[in-house]
Structure formats: C-alpha cells, structure tokens
A and B are shown apart, each in its own frame.
Chain A
Amino acid sequence: MTPTVVLPVIIGGLYAAGVYLLLDRSLTRVLLGVLLLGNATNLLLLSSGGPNGRAPILGYAEPEEMTDPMPQALILTAIVITFGISAFLLAIIYRSWRLVRQEVVGVDEEDRRVARRSRRTDADEIDPDELAPEDRPAGHADSLQSDAQVEALLAQRLPGVPSDDVDLPLGDGGNR
C-alpha cells in the first residue's frame, strides 16, 4: 500500500480555506470557516489510522488486513460534536441578525470606552462630540439642547438679573 497524496492535499486546502474564512468579520463566513476546519480535522483523524484495509469485522477479514477502527470511532464522535455546535452557532448568528440586523463580529463597547479614556492625555486633543454623553464636560454645548436651556443656566448663575430675551418659545423646549 503506497501512501496517497490526495488526502494531505485536501486536508491542507480545507485548512487554508477555513482559516481564510475565519478571518472574515461576517459571521456566516466564520461559520463556514469553522465547518471547513472541522472537516479538515476529521480527515486528519481519518488519515491518522494508517493505510486503508478491509472493514474491521471479525470473520469478514483477517486482523492484518483490517483498517484501524479506532480513528473512525473518534471521527464519529467529533462529527456529532461539530454538528451540534455548528447548529448552535447558526442559531446564535440568526439571533444576532434578529436583534441588531447585522451578522458581523460585534464591538466590545466597554473596551472601546476604556481605551478612549486612557488615551485622553491632553484636553485639547479631545473632540467633545466624540465622547459618550456621560463623559462630556459639564456645560458642553451638546448637553444644552436649546436656547431655553442656556437661558435657564444664565438665570441660575445670575439670579435677579432679568433676561434680555423677550419671548422664548417654551412649548416643548427644544425637545426635537
């Protein structure tokens, strides 16, 4: 029995394609990548059993000419596991699509927030508009949404000084 080159080539190709797909941000591609990697690994297990032979059934073949049955048992287990987890992953991806209408690897917002916070060395470099609302300095233009608010702030700071503003529409107060 000569060793075959087909199996290693297929395994290598599957691994390469699987890793490439896994690097994508789209979750469906990640899932496909995982499936390819799983199949490649199963083929690797299969090839670890050595050369082909006859079915390992007592009375059907002599022990010397049997295929090693052990890797096949391992592969069956591995296939079941990969199948179950792929189904779960697919369900999760579908759930992600239902929730946020996108199926890409998400961003850890808290992580980004911490990174932004630690990078903030010089006050001049900050664009307050990019900060989360709770991080903005008090009195920043964005925290005051209307003229009425500015007026109210002034009235608070300078009590007793009448406002020069004549008729502010108070209706919904800039609650656009």
Chain B
Amino acid sequence: MISVLTPLPVLLPLLGAAAALLVGGRHPGVQRALSILVLTAVLTVSVVLLVIADSDGAASVSVGGWPVPLGIVLVVDRLSALMLVVAATVALGVLVFAVGQGSADGDEETPLSIFHPTFLVLIAGVANAFLAGDLFNLYVGFEILLTASYVLLTLGGSAPRIRAGITYIVVSLLSSLLFLAAIALVYAATGTVNMAQLAVRLQELPDGTQLLLQSMLLIAFAIKAAVFPLSAWLPDSYPTAPAPVTAVFAGLLTKVGVYAIIRTQTLLFPGGAFDDVLLWAALATMLIGILGAVAQTDIRRILSFTLVSHIGYMVFGIALASTAGLAGAIFYVVHHIAIQTTLFLVAGLVERQGGSTSVDRLGGLAAASPLLAVLYFVPAMNLAGIPPFSGFIGKVGLLEAGVDDGGWLPVAVVVGGAVTSLLTLVAISRVWNRAFWRPPAQSPARETAEAAAADAGPELQPAAVAADAPGAADTDDAAGGSTAGGGRQAARRAAWQRHTAVATDSAPATGDRAGGRSRERPLHPLPRVMVGATAAMVVVTVGLTVVAGPLYGVAERAAEDLRDRTPYITAVFGSEEPQ
C-alpha cells in the first residue's frame, strides 16, 4: 500500500503536467479540470499518507528496486507527510483561484497553456523535496521546483517581472551550486548521499569536517528559506509576479528551505554546533524583516517582508533543538504556509477591487466590498497572533519552548519574537486602516483626480475627457463658467484643467513604472471563483485553529521522531543497522 502511494505525490503532478501540456490551449476547460483533478488526487494521497505515517511511523520506498544505499529512496515520516498535506491543500486553493482569475481575465495576462503544466511541475518538485531520502534527490527536487518557479515568476515577460526574475534566478542558482558543492564534499567525505546512511557516517568524521559540511548545507538552505542575512532577494522578486504565483511561492518555496534546514539539523547534524548562530539569525530575521514591513507602503511588499520576518520564528524553533521547540516550529510552518498564501490571495483581490496594491492609493475598500474586508481581517489577525487563532498558538508554543530553554539568548529571542508580533500588528493594521477604512476621497491619487473633476464642473466628471477632447471641454466649461466670471477666464481654466487631466493621467503611468502593479482596472464585481477560493483558504486557516489540538499532537510526535532519529534510519534500512 505505502509503496504504491509514496511516489504518487511526485508522479501524479508530473504526468498531469505532461497531459495538461498536450491538451494545451486548445481545450482550456479540459486543462483546468485536469489540473484540479490531479491536485485533488495528490491531496487525497497525502492525507492517506499522513494517516498511515502517524499510526505506523516512518516508511520508505526504494524507487526502481535498487538495494537501499545505492538507489533512490523516498521516505515518508510524520513531518514529510504533514508538509505534503499542507502543500497540496494550499496548491489546490491557489489553483482554483488562478482558474477563476484566468476565466475572468480571458487569460491575456497569464497564458493558461503554460501556467497549468508549470504549476503542476512546481508541486511535483515540492513533493519530491519533502519525500527525498537522499541529498541528491533533494537537490533534484529543489531544481524541479526552482525551474518551474523561474517560469512562473517571469510569466508574461513584462519588464518589471524580467528584472525581478533575473535577481531571483541568479540567487537561486548560486544557492543550488553551493548545495551541489556541499553534496560533492559530503560524498567525498562519506561515500554516500543517502540521508539515513549519512546520519550514521557523518558522526564518524572529524569535527572540523562536520562543521564545514554543515555550514555549507545550512547556507544553501538558508538562502532558499530567506533567513537573514540571506533574505534580501525575496522582497525584491516576489511582489511583481501575478497574485496566484506570489501566493504559492510565499506559502511553499521558503518552507521547503525550512524543511531542509530541519532535516539537516536533526537527522544529519544532531550535535547542535550551529544552534547559537541560528538563534542570532532567527532574532535578526524577525526584527529586520518586520522593520522592513513597517517601512513599506505596498501591500505585497509588506506581506513579503512579514514572510521573511516570520521565517525567524521557525528558525528559532529549530535552533532550540528541543522537542518542544521543534514541535512549535513544525506547527508554525503549517500555520504560516496556509496564512501567507491566503494573505497573498487576498492582496490579489484587493488589487482587483482597488486597482492598486499601494496603501497610498487605496481607500474605502471596506465600504466597496465588506466581504473582502472580512477576508483580509481574519488571516491578518491570525498572522499577527491575536489569541483565538493558530498564529497565537504557534507563537505561544515557540515562546514557551524558548523560555523553558533557560539560556539568555533564547530569552532574548523570545522578547524579539513578542516585539515582532506587535510590529506585525502595526504593519497589517496600517493596511487595514488605510486601504479599507479611509474614505476613498482621502487617498492622494483619487484626490487629484476628483479635484480636477470638481473644478471641471459636473459636465466633465471623467477628467480624461478634457484631455482627449479639448474643444468640447472649452465649450462645456464656457457654458458652466458663470461662476468664474467672463469667457476668457473660463477658457483659461479649461486650459489649466487640460493640464491637470494630463498630470493625473500620467500619475498611474509613473506608478506602473515604479511598482509595476498599479494597473487601473475598471471596477466590477470580484469574480466569484476567486472570492470562493480565497474564502475557502480563510476557512482552512481558521480550521487550523479548530484542529490545533490534534495538529499540535502530530507536530509533537514528528518532533520526537526527529530528535530520536532511529525511526527514520530503521525505516530506510529495515531492522538492521547500516554499516
């Protein structure tokens, strides 16, 4: 049973991608249905795997039937099964959102025939990374998901996306090369890349060699996980991508890096040589990330910076290296994948509704769409860690584990974590106040437009009309120009209004060049499928709170397995100990 199920989360999306590519753009309906079907199947398989792994413990499958240390091994334990379930859930939600967006926009912006296969390949890569039982397969999993992410990030090939994509690709390439070099050195030192065998053999190496290998792996994974000081690429590259792409990136890609750090620190190098360094990194990641978020005015950039900042919580849990710390980190990973994806989806809806993602331009969204306000408010409070939600539970778990540790550095990080939580609240409530509750008239962009319109008189409401048809503007204004006194002055005013009209017209263009995401769209009701997908994700995040007890139980058992290490090793080698 488990030997059939385990490869499926990798195989199904790959086969689905091939099929989706064959169907192509000719039958978009079939392609959409196929992708959703495949991801639903992946989700079902993952849930079954989690149930099996939680009741029976870890299990492994040798792909291709090669004897264990030689062939490729896939390992399912509680941690990887749990990650698979969350990843599949989030991917399904994002895919439905993207389908809704695609059918609403007529697929001009995101060519569907490329999007769906690439998205499925991305999920295959993520699943492969979670299931990989050897370092090189982990590398291949990373490369699959990264290559797919390069395509998704530069979808459409507009100038801002190309600019952001280049930074992203070069940084990712660099971390991959570092990872590959680390694999070469690990193989040279131990003669294997199988993680279960490495867990034994690495302990026999001299301390200095261990330190070198561990630091290389940690740096490579820390770049992918966006741990400070290796996090600068993330807020630079994520915000320009289309909303569903940013959402799935924010949710999944960094967490694959966190997962790899967890494996490195628990299975391969349980000595805890870098725990203090990781604690410092966690503190810096939290504080510097959240300070960046407070400084931003663009919703997607604010969210990107909070994403970096909250990676610090997970690194903190890992660095504590206690069962409680690891359990908190695992729970927080699950919570954060769901919450960050949801918030980026909401940002996509905000952009649709308000025509911008800059809080300087938005206003009055709560009145325009109360449902959108609720959809933002609930996950935002969850992110900040307001009590009933899962964010609070995860943070309390981590902070308690930190206090229990007793050292001064963990306690300092606990304080930093509390401050970060408060600053998160500041950052997201600024969005809440400005974008949702400020009267639309107060937002500067509308102010200029409305001022122009008001001056132009009732006949000239859309200011652009004045610019397009100067003759008409003159006559219209002359008709309503009795207040100004005199035809000449009326003509003058008309001339001035033409300029204001031009000026307001040019404002969005400048914004577009600067941020690339203030496209003015005509305001129409939000597509139901997109709202539905986002609402479903919000329900999932709230559901995490409801099932927090059992979930935390799974996380604790997973953490015990990780600390013990023997379940993983015996799962790969059967009952006998590897030589």
A: residues with CB less than 8 A from B are 22, 27, 30, 34, 37-38, 41, 44-45, 47-50, 70-71, 74, 77-78, 81, 84-85, 88-89, 92-93, 95-96, 99-100, 105-111, 113-114, 117-118, 132-134, 143-146, 148-149, 151-153, 155-156, 159-160, 162-163, 168, 170, 173-175
Q: What is the CA–CA distance of A96 and B159 in the complex, to the nearest angstrom?
A: 7
Other-chain contact of B499, A45, A95, A114, A149 (Cβ < 8 Å): A149
Q: Is the CB of B159 within 8 A of A170?
A: no
| Assembled-state Cα–Cα distance A160/B165 (Å) | 58
List which B159-195 residues lie within 8 A (CB) of chain A.
Answer: 159, 162-167, 169-170, 173-174, 176-177, 180-181, 183-185, 187-188, 193
**Pick from A71, A110, A118, A173: contact of B301, CB under 8 Å:** A110
Interface string of B199-243 (1 = CB under 8 A from A): 000000000000000000000000000000000000110010000
Given contacts A41-B184, A88-B150, A168-B492, contact A175 B169 (CB under 8 A): no
Q: A152 and B169: CB pair below 8 A?
A: no
B143: contacting residue among A74, A81, A96, CB under 8 A: A81
B142, closest chain A residue (CB): A81
User: Are B297 and A74 touching (Cβ within 8 A)?
Assistant: no
The interface on chain B, measured as residues whose beta carbon lies within 8 A of the other chain's beta carbons, has a size of 63
Per-position binary interface string of chain B over residues 500-513, scored 1 when its CB falls under 8 Å from any chain A CB and 0 otherwise: 00110011001101
- Minimum CB–CB distance from A46 to chain B (whole Å) comes to 8
A41-B177, A71-B187, A114-B295 as given contacts; A148 in contact with B492, CB under 8 Å? yes
List of A residues within 8 angstroms of B183 by Cβ: 45, 74
Closest to A86 in B: B173
Contacts of A132 in B (CB 8 A): 510, 514
Cβ–Cβ contact A170 & B491, under 8 A: yes
B154 within 8 A of A: yes
Interchain CB contact under 8 A, A48 and B184: yes
Q: Which residues of A contact B235 (CB under 8 A)?
A: 111
| Bound CA–CA A162/B487 (angstroms) | 12
B184, A71: Cβ atoms closer than 8 Å:
yes
- Taking the complex as formed, is B28 at the interface, i.e. its CB lies under 8 A from any CB of chain A? no
A-B pairs with beta carbons under 8 A, tally: 161
**Residue with the greatest number of chain B CB neighbours at <10 A, chosen from A37, A44, A100, A134:** A134
- Please indicate the chain A residues that have their CB under 8 angstroms from the CB of B169 in the complex: 85, 88-89, 92
Give the one of A144, A149, A151 with max B CB within 10 A.
A149
Can you report 7 A-B residue pairs in the complex whose CB atoms are below 8 A from each other? Answer: A41-B184, A96-B166, A109-B513, A109-B514, A110-B301, A134-B510, A155-B493
Q: Is the CB of A44 within 8 A of B181?
A: yes
Q: How far is the CB of B295 from chain A (nearest CB, A)?
A: 6
B488 to nearest A CB, angstroms? 8
Q: Is B489 an interface residue (CB 8 A)?
A: yes
Q: Which residues of A contact B503 (CB under 8 A)?
A: 133, 143
Cα of A152 to Cα of B503 in the assembled complex, Å = 15
Chain A residues within 8 Å of B239, by CB? 110
Known A41-B180, A111-B235; 11 more pairs at CB < 8 Å? A22-B174, A34-B173, A45-B180, A48-B185, A74-B193, A81-B147, A85-B150, A134-B444, A145-B499, A146-B499, A163-B492
Within the complex, what minimum Cβ distance (angstroms) separates B543 from chain A? 35
Binding site for A on B (CB under 8 A): 136, 140, 143, 147, 150-151, 154, 157-159, 162-167, 169-170, 173-174, 176-177, 180-181, 183-185, 187-188, 193, 235-236, 239, 295-298, 301, 444-445, 455, 483-486, 489, 491-493, 495-499, 502-503, 506-507, 510-511, 513-515
Contacts of A81 in B (CB 8 A): 140, 143, 147, 176
Residues of A within 8 A of B184 (CB): 41, 44-45, 47-48, 71, 74
Query: How far in angstroms is the closest Cβ of chain A from B303?
Result: 14
User: In the bound complex, what is the Cα–Cα distance between A145 and B498 (angstroms)?
Assistant: 11
Of A45, A48, A110, A118, which contacts B298 at CB under 8 A?
A110
Residue of B154, B164, B445 ringed by the most chain A CB atoms within 10 A = B154
Across the interface, which residues of B come within 8 angstroms of A152, CB to CB? 492-493, 495-497
Q: Which residue of chain A lies nearest to B188 when distances are taken between CB atoms in the complex?
A: A48
Contacts of A74 in B (CB 8 A): 136, 183-184, 187, 193
Cβ-defined contact, B485 with A84, below 8 A? no
